[in-house]
Amino acid sequence: MTGEEANRTRSLFSDDALLDTLSNGGLVTGASELAQTEIQQEAAPQPPAPAPKSTKGAKRSIRVPLIAAVLLFALCLEIIKLRIMKAPVASTRPQRSEQEQPQREVKLEQLLYEMSDLEKAQPMVVYLAETVGTERAVSALQKFRSALEQLEPADQMAVGVSSSSLAHLKEAVDDGVAALAELLQATRERGLSLAQDLQGERLPSFSDEEIEMLGNRLGAGFRKFLDIHKENVEFGFTAGLSQAEKAATDLKEMPDVKCTQDVKVLAGALASMEMIKAVDEAMQAQQATFEDIRVNSTTALVMSHQRDQEHLHREFKAQVDEQRVLCCLDEERQRGLPEPEKEVVEGLKWIQEQLEKADDLLKTHKELMDHTANAGDIVFASKMEVESRIVLNKLSEVLEGTAKKRRSLPGAITVDEAAHTKAMQRHLRLVALKTSEDAVAATERVAGIMAALDVQAPTAVSSMWEALDGQRRNPESLMKPPFDRMIASVMKQVEDAKAAVRKPDDDDVEGTASVTRTMELVLAARLAAKAAAAFSNEAELMWLRAQLNDSVEADMQLSTLVGWKAMAAADPATGREDQPRQFWTIRMGAGEALNFQNMVSQLNAEQQKARAADGLNEVAAAAARMKQAAYALTAFVQQHEKVPLTTKMRHAS
């Protein structure tokens, strides 16, 4: 082998030389040249060789180069084979990478959409967790936020993503979906529990006995109001429970969250949860309204009982004192006789004993009055009033017995004769003074009620149960002018009575003029007290109507809120700034939208009727119809599919 051939053989073991040799055909050419050289050497004429020294040595010298060339050629073929076997593997890697790249892009695009769904759902998810408010809901929210934090920004993902990054992104999305699934379970648990509690609620209402007691004392107008209110509460209670039950059923039957597209399931869960909570809040509001009506009705009832009992107590005490004055005058007459009549003395003694019993009955009656004044229960207050009347009936029997007994006594002084005495004159002036003072107390009570009404700025409807002449009248026009005149008159009577009582007995003239003057004082005081009582009664009823009007107004505001929530669900653009953000809406066709708008118009019409009504009962009736219209809107919304606002907007675009 020549030096050039050896160099060529060594160069074939290098990768670069091998590739160059393969591409240029150098390996084949070199082998051909080697074979041709050997043939030429055999075919060319050779000069006569010297006599060989050995035959075996000559053959060995000829075959060694040939064997070496063959071995070298075989070795080169093996190397070429190995290179060729490796070449396809190296050449398919770029091709496989090129095939996987589009698949990664498709997966990335899908994950980016899922990322977008999760991020857009975040405000609704936060609100739902806050609405549910349980530890499990808060935990699910924290997991959801953690999953979002693991998501890389979409622009960084779009530049280029590896298989490991895709796996990380998918894991974060899966964690977010799992958190949503847990939040749905928390919502379902809380909603079903609250709905179950609502089923245990009891309808707030007056008993038949209470209605009878209130109606008898406060009048037919108030009785009608109670009937209207009862129907209104029953409707709201029944409709609310029905809608809460349906919302609970919807929650129970909702499919689980398995992918980001199931965010719409959370929208339905939020709608059901809001419905159940709204029913709960509405029932609490109705309960509070009912309690206000109960308290105010009880207060009005107690004030009415108290006013009547105070008047009766004052009158009976005056009769007891008058009987005692007459008895004292008869005893004084008997002491003036040379020999008192035994029958008369014993009779007067019995009368004095009976009058002491009358004093005890008055004391008992006063205690019952105090119990009535502190009564916080309708039935208890009415029972106290009944017991008070029983005591007064006994007192009346005692006074009738003493009067009859005294008239049967020989020589008993007559009422006309007693009227001219100083003792009776003084007694009557004290009666006039006490009556006038009670009238002043009544007027002060009326003034306090009127001041409270002025602070409340009541509407005209609080002045009457029903519209009388179709014209709205200001309560002030009904009460203020005559009330001012009454106050002036009562104050004058009080001053006159005080002056008469302070007048020394020596200045009294036991004549017809003095008696007439005293009787005029008593009559004027009693008229003033009667007028004050009448104004007190009207002021108390006006106050009650004002409180009831506030309760009706609160009920109307509740119906308005229910209606607004339904309208916001149907058309989020109608939502109010003072209400929570709307995260879901409903799907409905054009015909259904028109039907919904007609229902909204009905709600507005009933509200206008309530505002324009003249009598409180008319307002209450319109408010009841308004509630029916509001709950009809809610039922409409509840029957339609709920979708997240973000989902609807994305699909629409």
**Residue 582 resides in a domain:** no
**Residue 203 resides in a domain:** no
**Residue 100 resides in a domain:** no
* 652 Cβ contact list (under 8 Å, min separation 6): none
Q: Which domain holds residue 328?
A: 292-553
The separation between CA 26 and the C-alpha centre of its own chain, rounded to angstroms, equals: 94
Distances from the Cα of 103 to the Cα of 106, 128, 164, 170, 262, angstroms:
5, 36, 14, 15, 25
**Residue 117 resides in a domain:** no
What is the pLDDT, as a whole number, of residue 64?
62
Strand (E) or helix (H) holding 617: helix 616-638
What is the pLDDT, as a whole number, of residue 52?
43
Burial letters for 404-440: b for 16+ Cβ neighbours within 10 Å, e otherwise?
A: ebbeebeebbeeeebbbbeebbbbbbbbbbbbbbbbb
* 327 Cβ contact list (under 8 Å, min separation 6): 348, 351, 352, 355, 402, 406
DSSP 632: H
Q: How many residues does the chain have?
A: 653
**Residue 54 resides in a domain:** no
The separation between CA 168 and the C-alpha centre of its own chain, rounded to angstroms, equals: 43
Q: What is the DSSP string of 428-478?
A: HHHHHHHHHHHHHHHHHHHHHHHHHHHHH---GGGG-SS-SSS----HHHH
Strand (E) or helix (H) holding 68: helix 55-132
* 251 Cβ contact list (under 8 Å, min separation 6): 187, 188, 191, 192, 269, 272, 273
Q: SS3 of 339, please?
A: coil
Residue 389 tokens, joined: 């009347």
What is the pLDDT, as a whole number, of residue 114?
87
**Residue 245 resides in a domain:** no
Burial letters for 502-534: b for 16+ Cβ neighbours within 10 Å, e otherwise?
A: eeeeeebeeeeebbebbeebbebbbebbebbbe
Distance CA 115, CA 117 (A): 5
Domain total in the chain? 1
**Residue 373 resides in a domain:** yes
User: Global pTM?
Assistant: 0.73
How wide is the angle at C-alpha 86 spanned by C-alphas 80 and 88, nearest 5°? Answer: 110
What is the pLDDT, as a whole number, of residue 12?
40
Q: What is the DSSP string of 178-223?
A: HHHHHHHHHHHHHHHHHHHHHHT-------HHHHHHHHHHH-HHHH
**Residue 81 resides in a domain:** no
Burial letters for 308-319: b for 16+ Cβ neighbours within 10 Å, e otherwise?
A: bbbbbbbebbbb
Distance CA 404, CA 408 (A): 6
How wide is the angle at C-alpha 464 spanned by C-alphas 463 and 468, nearest 5°? Answer: 125
Under-50 pLDDT residues of the chain: 1-2, 4-60, 88-93, 95-96, 154-155, 159, 457-462, 468-478, 647-653
What is the pLDDT, as a whole number, of residue 229?
92
